[in-house]
Amino acid sequence: MEPHPLLLFDGVCGLCNRLVDFLLQADHKGHLRFATLQGETGAALLLKLGLPLPLPNDSPETVLLWVESRLYERSDAVLYALCAIGGPWTLVRLFFIIPRPLRDAVYRWISRNRYQWFGKSETCRIPTPSERSRFLN
């Protein structure tokens, strides 16, 4: 895999795409890489880890972050992705004092409602030409 942290996200989710847009803008060093859970890279990593593949018309429940052969899920994935971009975003480490079950409960509540609140696309996000080098199929 890439030496860069790889964020796997639901490519049709409006909230997930907004997170990716934010991370692309805030990651001035271009450290993070991105792939949809519905794409080839996402499927290959999920198979390698023995995790279920999203079915067609299924909504993946979580954002995943693959860093140095370690997988982070849900709130851990989001917090570590923010930490990875550096600068003032490293302050989000303070949220790790909140127990993971509590953070993940909030994450799951948002995840269950994200399509209603932020919308859903018919197709996965297509990176712009300037973003292509940061996205894996």
User: What local confidence, expressed as pLDDT, does residue 1 receive?
Assistant: 41
Using CA atoms, how far apart are residues 92 and 113, in angstroms rounded to an integer?
A: 23
Whole-structure pTM value: 0.89
Q: Taking residues 81-97, what's their average pLDDT?
A: 94
* Reported confidence tier of residue 103, pLDDT bands at 50, 70, 90: very high
> CB atoms < 10 A from the CB of 93, how many?
12
Average pLDDT, the chain: 89
